[in-house]
Amino acid sequence: MQSNPYLKRLYNQYNKKYFSNRLPNLPLLFVTPGEMKKYFGVNRGCCAITCFKQGTTEPVAIYVSLNCHKSWRYVKSDLLHEMFHVARPRAEHGKAFEDEMMRIAKLGAFAGIW
């Protein structure tokens, strides 16, 4: 799998700035909404997903759905969201997720995005 160079650059930048370079080197790919539905069963045009090795918490890749209506600001937000799942694979979208999003927001992660 060949990573998208733009996503890879953002991932490396965010990993260094917000995650102390703790996150693994992963493939980062854009997929169409149709591919997102076909391969992952996700029926939304704007989303991202982190895939894990079956039966483990080992991340394999991050896929970001891209369509003509999705802005680059949204892509950056999706990537930061998925990086949390890589950092904390057992955590859901509850308090741990909210606390982490607040932590990186205070560091400026969403400046210029929202």
pLDDT of residue 10: 94
72 pLDDT band, cuts 50/70/90, is confident
Query: 9-31, pLDDT tens digit by residue?
Result: 999 999 999 999 999 999 999 88
Number of structural domains found in the chain: 1
Residue 89 lies in a domain: yes
Measuring CA to CA, which residue among 19, 49, 45, 23 is closest to residue 32? Answer: 45
Residue 112 lies in a domain: no
At residue 69, φ and ψ (nearest 5 deg) are -100, -5
Residue 114 lies in a domain: no
Per the DSSP assignment, residues forming a β-bridge with 78 are none
Residue 113 lies in a domain: no
pLDDT of residue 26: 94
Instruction: Look up the CATH number of the domain holding residue 31.
Output: 3.30.2010
At residue 92, φ and ψ (nearest 5 deg) are -100, -155
Domain of 97, in residue numbers: 5-106
Query: 32-71, pLDDT tens digit by residue?
Result: 888 888 888 877 666 788 888 898 888 899 988 887 566 7
